[in-house]
Amino acid sequence: MKFLVILAACLLAAEAAPKKSLWRPTTKADFQNLKTRNIMQMQALSFVKPKKPSPLPTTPVSAISAPRQADCGLENTKSASGKIVGGAETNPNQFPWVSALNCVNTFFCTSSIVNENWILTAAHCVDGCNNGWDVTVGVHDLSRPESTAQTIHAPASNGMTHPLWDAALIINDIALVRLPEAIEFSDVVRPSCMVDSGDIGDDLVGQETTCTGWGKLSDSPFEGRADKMHFVRGRKIITNEECAGTYGSTITDGHVCIDTSDGKGVCSGDSGGPLNLQTASGQYKTVGVTSFVSGAGCASGYPHGFTRTTAYLDWILDNTR
């Protein structure tokens, strides 16, 4: 009887003890000795030269459907004055839905927070990663992570590429990573907003978008990823027809492209990061996932390509509920 009493007391004590969190403070060692994941490259048609797109009609921001979460996609601070390629450094935690994604001891990508349990990124950032991922939220400077930065390890089995992902054609370049423990949201860590309409056409043509990430700041082979998060604003969405005029029939309804004729856009290390547009309410919505640039280079002036999230919204929602 005495043994049963002791056993019961031990069980009660174990239940009362606080569960140790799987999240841990981030250190700079988490980002050392990692290569940037090379962004996918699509070859421009040989007869096509970079050019300034023709004037584009603009869909009123008010016509874009409202977000599902009131606090999603909200900037933490005012915009920095001022790099992903040709961009500016963000203020710390300015875009709190952007997260860092490390294939452990292998390569680095950017990602974004879907909800407290899931991260959205590119399939080419998940494909081939057998070591699992370290996901970091609340971080700005990877060389000196802030006290807000927290990291969690997700095993390789938690990664999910789209079932029709094709690396050769660069189509369906989208993936999800499930976190083993929920994110605790705050002012510096928030979910992204998804455009929740069925827009897979050109309804967003002419809208100005913002790219974010820790990617390379130039095409130089001697330059690695940026230590601090950078962004570039004012990237206008072009028609898929115009994008196909550069890259051919590989462009599908699952792509969305932006004008980078001034050489400003994304590069290696930005892969998997969000392409956002800001609505009249001030919220940013994710309309794309960074996928590819021209084989001529990030700053070549050819359009940059993203996976159009609205074309995969059902897949995202079905797997992240």
Catalytic sites, residue numbers: 124, 173, 271
Report angle CA 285, 235, 316 to the nearest 5 degrees. Answer: 30
Residues paired with residue 150 on neighbouring β-strands, in sequence order: 25, 137
Q: 151: Cβ–Cβ under 8 A, 6 or more apart, which residues? A: 23, 24, 25, 26, 30, 134, 135, 136
Hey, is 61 helix, strand or coil? helix
What DSSP string runs through 174-226? -EEEE-SS-----SS----EE--S---SSTTTT-EEEEEES-BSSS-TT--B-
CA distances from 255 to 70, 95, 162, 314 (A): 27, 23, 14, 16
Hey, is 90 helix, strand or coil? coil
What DSSP string runs through 263-279? S-S--TT-TTPEEEEE-
78: burial class by Cβ within 10 Å (0-12, 13-18, 19+)? exposed
Q: 57: Cβ–Cβ under 8 A, 6 or more apart, which residues? A: 205, 206
**Nearest alpha carbon to residue 151 among 273, 22, 274:** 22
**Nearest alpha carbon to residue 303 among 37, 41, 111, 38:** 41
Residue 100 and residue 136 in contact, taking contact as beta carbons nearer than 8 Å: yes
